[in-house]
């Protein structure tokens, strides 16, 4: 498929752009809230105007027919997520950077918890039974909107190294730097989806023409040059921990190890990051019916298949209990659910090599369709040993591989305790974790479940819902559990989204009913996703009750 090529930015052009931003960085601090809101509102109009083109180009990059039902995936994960972020930032700034949560509660351990979603009547209708909370770091103040309280600040230029997988990441990361951290932004597009850059430039023209945000194009060499540029003050990267370490510690593996051991990184600028995760799915044993097993199997398969599994929150490891009588039946249902999903074009670089590495280590792997030069089959690897260092537990596949490991547990309470410890200590990454638990079990082990949520060291936790939905909402925080040191960066440092502008968030927890109704739009094979995508974007840009009723009608037919 032909995708329009963009002109690469040379170093002379990059120098001029950075210099212009540096000259504007202090002025951005003087832009008052009403003017900032005006910028955001104009960008809402801009994103809506380019949404169809945005989706068409994203589909071309990913090998999706823009007129197919699957194209709805790009509507929701690109323009829709970006519009949601813009609208929530408008609300946050209208509250002077300190929007009030729906309510507060205190966990058993004394931690402050803010409920942030759903707030409005339409949200409650569309997200029936959902609840999103942001848990704040203990022993730190529950404050919000630091930049809108501080009188004296220094302007900064932030380099945002954009991700190549999800097209909403680059714009929402940039918006966070601008409106939550008060930094003007230079966005370097990832070569994988660089063709989205001109579309973003059109959508965000109000910010770009004013000199607060600029976009450049190039590969790793340009990124490395800009990281070291004297007029770049901070860096944010969404990508792999290998790329992060090359920036901070240098690209030579021997020098990296020596510098980490000495605690002397050659790169000393502030850097924030979101670097992926081997996302575990904790399957709590309980009295699941046959239809429960089939429904949750489709849920798990959808966590794997969304965006061809090129998601940092794609489901990667099922954690089950050996004493759960339905374990084998559930695994069989997951296999069947994955087998029903057509394989996707493997558009992300290196996917075939990563997949082969898994096949080489696990000859028992079960590919569920034929492998081709452009397609990687959904692949299940069951019965992994529950041991530290196991390859599938510490390597993010970033392709359609799902592993399974069983812990020696017979009941829900014991399983939760074991699974939390196993996830925290044995599985790589601390960005994303999912817990699937039957309502009867949830009621019986309510205290143990709350204790498990408090103990999980993940920045985003889904209870009966995929954490990718938390990314889409943007009211919640998005980032790793705090505390990762530079030498062991794991899933990264810092957060984005966070439209309540909490100064010290620890994690976000999104809860949903065990069987979500109507069928969620992110489920593979959703019948009306292609129709839902454009109307959801239209609604987010300019909500009306008529559009809402149409959304409900389409959702019920999914």
Summary mean pLDDT of the chain: 96
190-232 per-position pLDDT tens digit: 999 999 999 999 999 999 999 999 999 999 999 999 999 999 9
Q: What is the CATH number of domain 11-101+156-274?
A: 3.40.605.10
What's the predicted TM-score (pTM) here?
A: 0.96
Is the predicted pLDDT of residue 334 greater than 70, yes or no?
yes
Average pLDDT estimate for 70-85? 97
Furthest C-alpha separation in the chain: 65
pLDDT at 1: 44
Tell me the pLDDT tens digit for each residue of 45-56.
Answer: 999 999 999 999
Render pLDDT for 261-304 as a digit per residue (tens, 0 to 9).
Answer: 999 999 999 999 999 999 999 999 999 999 999 999 999 999 99
In 3D, which of 315, 338, 348, 321 has the Cα closest to residue 434?
315
Could you give the residue range(s) of every CATH 3.40.309.10 domain in the chain?
279-464
Give yes or no for residue 336 having a pLDDT over 60: yes
The answer to whether 316 touches 279, Cβ cutoff 8 Å, is: yes
Residue 3 has pLDDT above 90, yes or no: no
Predicted confidence at residue 109, as pLDDT, reads 84
- Residue span(s) of the chain under CATH 3.40.605.10 come to 11-101+156-274
Write out the two tokens for 224. 């490395």
User: What pLDDT, in 10s, does the model give residues 478-496?
Assistant: 999 999 999 999 999 999 9
Mean pLDDT of 323-341: 97
Tell me what pLDDT residue 190 has: 97
Contact 132, 473 (CB under 8 A): yes
State mean pLDDT over 339-357: 97
Residue with tokens 């705090």: 482
Question: What whole-number distance in Å separates Cα of residue 508 and Cα of residue 196?
Answer: 29
Q: Which helix (H) or strand (E) holds 381?
A: strand 379-384
Task: Give whole-number Cα distances, 257 to 247, 251, 487, 488, in Å.
Answer: 14, 11, 9, 11
User: For position 121, what pLDDT does the model report?
Assistant: 95
Nearest CA-CA partner of 302 in 281, 282, 323, 271: 281
Per-residue pLDDT at 151: 74
Rounded CA-CA distance 74/55 in Å is 6
Q: 67-76, 150-159, 370-379: which has the minimum mean pLDDT?
A: 150-159
Looking at residues 35-52, what average pLDDT do you find?
98
- For residues 97 and 148, the answer to whether their CB atoms sit within 8 Å is yes
Residue that the structure tokens 């790009």 belong to: 74
Distance CA 339, CA 230 (A): 52
Q: Contact at 8 Å (CB) between 317 and 403? A: yes
Q: Which residues face 446 on adjacent strands?
A: none
Euclidean distance between the first and final Cα of the chain, in Å?
A: 29
Domain 279-464 CATH assignment equals 3.40.50.280: no
DSSP 257-282: HHHHHHT--S--S-EEEE----EEEE
- Write down the pLDDT at residue 558: 79
Which pair of structure tokens corresponds to residue 337? 């659910």
Q: How far apart, in whole angstroms, are the C-alpha atoms of residue 301 and residue 525?
A: 11
Classify residue 39 as left (phi > 0), alpha (psi -120 to 50) or beta. Answer: alpha
d(CA 155, CA 178): 11
What pLDDT is stored for residue 2 in this prediction? 54
Phi and psi for 447 in degrees, rounded to 5? -65, -45
Q: Are strands 213-217 and 183-189 parallel, antiparallel or unpaired?
A: parallel
Q: For residue 176, count other CB atoms closer than 10 A to its CB.
A: 28
C-alpha to C-alpha distance for 478 and 266, rounded to whole angstroms? 28
């Amino acid at each position: 498929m032909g995708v329009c090529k963009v002109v690469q930015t040379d170093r002379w052009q990059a120098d001029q752009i950075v210099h212009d931003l540096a000259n504007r960085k202090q002025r951005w601090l003087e832009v008052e809230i009403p003017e900032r809101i005006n910028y955001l509102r104009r960008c809402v109009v801009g994103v809506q105007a380019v949404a169809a083109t945005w989706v068409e180009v994203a589909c071309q990059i990913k090998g999706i027919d823009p007129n197919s039902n699957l194209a709805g995936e790009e509507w929701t994960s690109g323009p829709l997520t970006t519009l949601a972020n813009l609208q929530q930032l408008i609300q946050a700034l209208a509250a002077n950077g300190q929007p009030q949560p729906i309510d507060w509660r205190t966990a058993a351990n004394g931690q402050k918890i803010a409920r942030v979603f759903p707030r409005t009547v339409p949200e409650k209708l569309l997200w029936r039974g959902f609840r999103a909370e942001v848990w704040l770091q203990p022993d730190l103040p529950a404050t919000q909107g630091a930049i809108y309280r501080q009188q004296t600040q220094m302007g900064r230029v932030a380099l945002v190294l954009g991700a190549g997988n999800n097209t909403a990441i680059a714009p929402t990361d940039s918006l966070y730097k601008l409106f939550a951290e008060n930094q003007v932004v230079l966005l370097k597009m990832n070569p994988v989806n660089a063709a989205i850059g001109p579309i973003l430039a059109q959508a965000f023209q109000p910010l770009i023409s004013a000199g607060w945000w600029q976009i450049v194009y190039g590969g790793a060499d340009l990124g490395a040059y800009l990281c070291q540029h004297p007029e770049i003050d901070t860096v944010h990267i969404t990508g792999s921990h290998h790329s992060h370490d090359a920036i901070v510690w240098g690209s030579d593996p021997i020098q990296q190890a020596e510098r980490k051991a000495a605690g002397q990184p050659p790169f000393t600028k502030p850097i924030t990051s979101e670097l992926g995760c081997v996302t575990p799915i904790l399957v709590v044993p309980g009295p699941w019916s046959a239809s429960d097993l089939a429904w949750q199997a489709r849920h798990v398969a959808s966590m794997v298949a969304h965006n061809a599994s090129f998601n940092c929150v794609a489901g990667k490891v099922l954690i089950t209990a050996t004493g759960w009588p339905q374990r084998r039946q559930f695994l069989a249902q997951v296999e069947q659910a994955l087998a029903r999903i057509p394989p996707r074009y493997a558009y992300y670089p290196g996917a075939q090599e990563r997949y082969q590495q898994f096949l080489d280590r696990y000859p028992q792997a079960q590919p569920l369709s034929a492998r081709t030069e452009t397609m990687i089959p959904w692949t299940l690897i069951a019965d992994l040993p529950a041991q530290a260092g196991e390859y599938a537990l510490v390597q993010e596949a970033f392709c359609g591989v799902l592993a399974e490991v069983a812990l020696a547990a017979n009941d829900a309470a014991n399983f939760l305790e074991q699974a939390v410890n196993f996830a925290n200590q044995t599985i790589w990454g601390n960005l994303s974790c999912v817990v699937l638990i039957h309502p009867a079990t949830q009621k019986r082990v309510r205290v143990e479940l709350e204790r498990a949520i408090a103990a999980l060291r993940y920045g985003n936790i889904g209870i009966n819902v995929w954490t990718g939905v938390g990314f889409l909402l943007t009211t919640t925080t998005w980032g790793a559990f705090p505390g990762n040191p530079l030498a062991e960066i794991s899933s990264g440092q810092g957060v984005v989204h966070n439209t309540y502008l909490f100064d010290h968030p620890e994690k976000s927890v999104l809860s949903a009913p065990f069987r979500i109704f109507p069928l969620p739009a992110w489920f593979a094979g959703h019948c009306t996703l292609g129709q839902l995508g454009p109307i959801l974007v239209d609604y987010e840009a300019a909500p009306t009750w008529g559009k809402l009723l149409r959304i409900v009608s389409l959702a019920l037919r999914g």
